[in-house]
């Protein structure tokens, strides 16, 4: 599955998992979600979510369905 980038946004992951973006951010900050990292630089946090690790966590299909749906909505 290489139709999208290897890095996925917090917003996209929250939609894929049907959770809030804050859930994803806090899970990454607390090292409870195994598909990315959160790094604090002064008062700001930066997040990196790996497509490969997310696929290992939930499987490829939910991610594929989400991005296919997004692509269809963009075309309409």
Q: Tell me the whole-structure pTM to 2 decimals.
A: 0.86
CA-angle at 48, arms to 29 and 66, nearest 5°: 105
Alpha carbon distance 1, 62 (integer Å): 12
Task: Note the pLDDT tens digit of each residue in 1-54.
Answer: 445 456 799 999 999 999 999 999 999 999 999 999 999 999 999 999 999 999
* Measured distance CA(13)–CA(65) in Å, rounded: 12
CB atoms within 10 A of CB 17: 18
């Amino acid at each position: 599955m290489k139709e999208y980038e290897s890095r996925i946004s917090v917003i996209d992951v929250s939609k894929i998992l049907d959770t809030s973006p804050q859930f994803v951010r806090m899970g990454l900050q607390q090292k409870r979600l195994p598909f990315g990292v959160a790094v604090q630089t002064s008062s700001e946090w930066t997040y990196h979510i790996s497509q490969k690790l997310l696929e290992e966590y939930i499987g490829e299909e939910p991610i594929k369905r989400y991005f296919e749906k997004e692509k269809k909505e963009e075309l309409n």
